[in-house]
Amino acid sequence: MDMTEPLDSKSVEPLYVQLAGRLAARISEGELSPGSKLPTEAELMSAYGVSRITVRQAIQMLTRNGQVTAHRGKGTFVTRTGLHQDLGMLQGFQEALRSQGVEPETELLEFSASAGRIDSQIPPGLNFPVRLRRRYCLNGEPFAIVEAFLPEAAAALGEVRARQMAVYEIVEQYMGLRIGRADVGIRCGRPGDQVAKELGLRPSSNVLVMERTSFSGTGQACEHMRIYIVPESYTFKLSLPGPLEIARALRPTATAGR
Give the per-residue pLDDT at 104: 82
46 and 67 both lie in a single domain: yes
Q: Are residues 97 and 195 in the same domain?
A: yes
Given this model, what pLDDT does residue 68 score?
84
Instruction: Please tell me the distance from the alpha carbon of residue 34 to that of residue 141, in angstroms, as a whole number.
Output: 15
Say how many residues make up the chain: 258
Greatest pairwise CA separation for the chain in angstroms: 85
| Phi and psi torsions of 117, nearest 5° | -70, -25
Per residue in 140-160, pLDDT tens?
A: 889 999 999 999 999 999 999
Record the pTM: 0.67
Domain contains 250: no
Determine the pLDDT at residue 65. 73
Cis peptide upstream of residue 243 (ω within 30 degrees of 0): yes
Structure confidence by residue, pLDDT tens digits, 162-190: 999 999 999 999 999 999 999 999 999 99
Cα–Cα distance for residue pair 87/3, rounded to 1 Å: 41
With respect to residue 258, please indicate whether it lies within any of the assigned structural domains. no
pLDDT digits (tens, 9 = 90+) for 101-120: 677 889 999 999 999 999 99
Domains identified in the chain, total number: 2
pLDDT attached to residue 115:
96
Domain region containing 180: 83-237
pLDDT, tens digit, 9 for 90 and up, residues 208-249: 999 999 999 899 999 999 999 988 777 777 777 777 666 565
- Asked whether residue 251 is assigned to any structural domain, the reply reads no
Displacement of CA 3 from its chain's centroid (Å): 32
DSSP assigned state of 4:
T
User: In which band, very low, low, confident or very high, does the pLDDT at 1 lie, cut at 50, 70 and 90?
Assistant: very low
Q: Show which of 45, 78, 111 is a domain's final residue.
A: 78
**166 and 214 fall within a common domain:** yes
At 78, the pLDDT band (50, 70, 90 cuts) reads: confident
Identify whether residues 65 and 100 lie together within a single domain: no
Kindly state whether residues 117 and 228 are assigned to the same domain.
yes
| First and final C-alpha spacing in the chain | 78
Residues 98 and 63 in one domain: no
- CB-hemisphere CA count at 13 Å for 124? 0
Residue 248 lies in a domain: no
Residue 217 CA to its chain's centroid (Å): 29
